[in-house]
Structure 1
Amino acid sequence: MASIAVYSVKGGVGKTTFAVNLAWCAATISRRRTLLWDLDASGGSGFLLGVDPRKKRAAQSVFERDQPPAKLIRETAYEGLHLLPADESIRTLGRQFEQLGKKRRLAKLVEGLGKEYDRIVFDCPPVLSEVSAQVMRAADLVIVPLPPSPLSSRAFEQVVEEVRGSGKKHPPILPVLSMIDMRRNLHKEARDANPKWPIVPLASAVEQCAVERRPVGDFAPRSPAARAFAQLWTAIERKLAKG
């Protein structure tokens, strides 16, 4: 089992779209039994997968008791892809972790889930907090979507500091240039400066994920965006294989 965190301290970078599409790639392309764990209280991952929230707000209860989270896991429309949804109850999750005093609480839950899943993808909250620190201790790889802008570069530096501060054996980071439009000079410069970073283009198909409530590979499989996510997932699998 391997766990992948999709993380950024800056909102509006496509973090949730990345998490959903990569989880779909894991389940559909690689045929991995996959869990998408939404830790963002906005619950965007469930929305994009067409999984409507339950009225009971219980996402936080996974961490309150020493019990497996199986009761909260939901099936999706896609074979091999399950969702552990978020709700507003996890807004206070950081404080709860601090009260528990268990720095590897999330990592222990992931170890247990590893008996059922080959891949776990985290949709992380866009903040620096104890929640993100817990994720860094549990993750094998951190994906950071980066639209080409000075603010994104600053946010990436903050992510690097956060990951390195999680411990000596911190997970590797894979930055990804997102929302790239090669007609724009700033975007060309970002690409030229980081030629080895994967790219996900600025595309209407990506924006349509929120309208269709489906991964782009499902409703537009031949689109450049679908190919980009598939290529990114291949790069992730290779990186995981190298350890």
Structure 2
Amino acid sequence: MASIAVYSVKGGVGKTTFAVNLAWCAANISRRETLIWDLDAANGSGFLLGVDPKKKRTAESVFDQARDPAKLIEKTGFSGLHLLPADESIRTLDRQFDRIGKKKRLAGLVEQLGKDFDRIIFDCPPVLNEVSAQVMRAADLVIVPLPPSPLSTRAFETVVEEVRGAGKGHPPILPVMSMVDMRRTLHRQAREANPTWPVVPLASAIEQCAVERKPVGAFAPRSPAARAFAQLWTAIERKLAAG
């Protein structure tokens, strides 16, 4: 089992879209039993996968030591892809963790869930708090979507500093340039400044994910966007295999 966190210090860079599409690739390209764990109170992953939240479920129940998290997992409409959804109460988890007093509670749950899943994808909150800090202690790899800007390198360095601050032994971090339009001068300059970073293009198919409530590979499999996510997932699997 391997766990991959999709993390950003700000919204609007495609974090949730990345998480959902990479989870779909894990289940459909690699044929791995995959869990996407939504830790963002907006419940964006559930929305994009067409799974509506159950109103009675509370996020802290996932971390309740007397509760089996597997019972909270929901099926999606895609083979091999499952969802552990979030809701508004996840905003209180920092206080819940303080009460529990365990810095690696999430890592313990990941180990438990790893008995049933080959890949766990975290859709992290767009801030570094105790929730995301616990994710960093549990993840094998962190994916960081970044906007195509001349300041992309600086933004990535900021993320690295944030992640390092979460504790010793942080996982490897893979920056990915998101929403790239090579017709734009600034985007080309950002690409030239970071030629080794994977790229996901600015594409209408990606925007349609929110309309279709499906990963792009499920409704536009031959699109450049679908190919970009597939290539990114292949790079992730290679990075995981290389250790």
TM-score between the two structures when normalised by the length of structure 2: 0.97
Match of 1:145 in 2: 145
Residues 122-201 of structure 1 correspond to what in structure 2 (within 5 A)? 122-149=122-149, 153-201=153-201
Identity among equivalent pairs (%): 81
Residue deviations 1:164-223 (CA, integer Å, cap 9, x gap):
223332100000000000011111111111111100000000000000000000000000
CA distance in 1, matches of 2:114, 2:195: 34
CA distance in 2, matches of 1:149, 1:127: 20
Structure 2, unaligned runs of 5 or more: none
Match of 2:73 in 1: 73
Match of 1:120 in 2: 120
SS at match of 2:71: helix
Match of 1:101 in 2: 101
Which amino acid letter does the alignment assign opposite residue 236 of structure 2?
Answer: I
Indicate the larger mover: 65-74 or 225-234.
Answer: 65-74
User: Do the aligned partners of 2:59 and 2:93 also contact (CA within 8 Å) in 1?
Assistant: no
Indicate the larger mover: 51-60 or 229-238.
Answer: 51-60
1:39 equivalent to 2:34? Answer no
Structure 1 runs of 4+ aligned residues shifted over 3 Å read 150-155
Q: CA deviation at 1:117?
A: 0.3
Residues 205-224 of structure 1 correspond to what in structure 2 (within 5 A)? 205-224=205-224
Q: CA deviation at 1:141?
A: 0.2
Which amino acid letter does the alignment assign opposite residue 52 of structure 1?
Answer: D
Q: CA deviation at 1:12?
A: 0.4
Which amino acid letter does the alignment assign opposite residue 113 of structure 1?
Answer: L
CA distance in 2, matches of 1:23, 1:6: 11
SS at match of 2:47: helix
Residue deviations 1:73-105 (CA, integer Å, cap 9, x gap):
000011110000000010111121122221100
CA distance in 2, matches of 1:196, 1:152: 13
User: Do the aligned partners of 1:59 and 1:72 also contact (CA within 8 Å) in 2?
Assistant: no
Match of 2:21 in 1: 21
User: Do the aligned partners of 1:33 and 1:117 also contact (CA within 8 Å) in 2?
Assistant: yes
Q: CA deviation at 1:154?
A: 4.6
Q: Evaluate the alpha carbon distance shift between residue 237 and residue 186 of structure 1 in structure 2; reply closer, same or farther with a 3 A threshold.
A: same
CA distance in 2, matches of 1:188, 1:219: 29
Indicate the larger mover: 82-91 or 152-161.
Answer: 152-161
CA distance in 1, matches of 2:177, 2:126: 17
Structure 1, unaligned runs of 5 or more: none
CA distance in 1, matches of 2:130, 2:165: 12
User: Do the aligned partners of 1:133 and 1:162 also contact (CA within 8 Å) in 2?
Assistant: no
Residue deviations 1:136-156 (CA, integer Å, cap 9, x gap):
000000000001136655542
User: Do the aligned partners of 2:146 and 2:152 also contact (CA within 8 Å) in 1?
Assistant: yes
Residue deviations 1:92-133 (CA, integer Å, cap 9, x gap):
111211222211000000000010000000000001211110
User: How many residues are matched?
Assistant: 243
User: Do the aligned partners of 1:35 and 1:117 also contact (CA within 8 Å) in 2?
Assistant: yes
Superposition CA RMSD, Å: 1.2
CA distance in 2, matches of 1:89, 1:183: 42
Residue deviations 1:11-60 (CA, integer Å, cap 9, x gap):
10000000000000000000000000000000000000000111213222
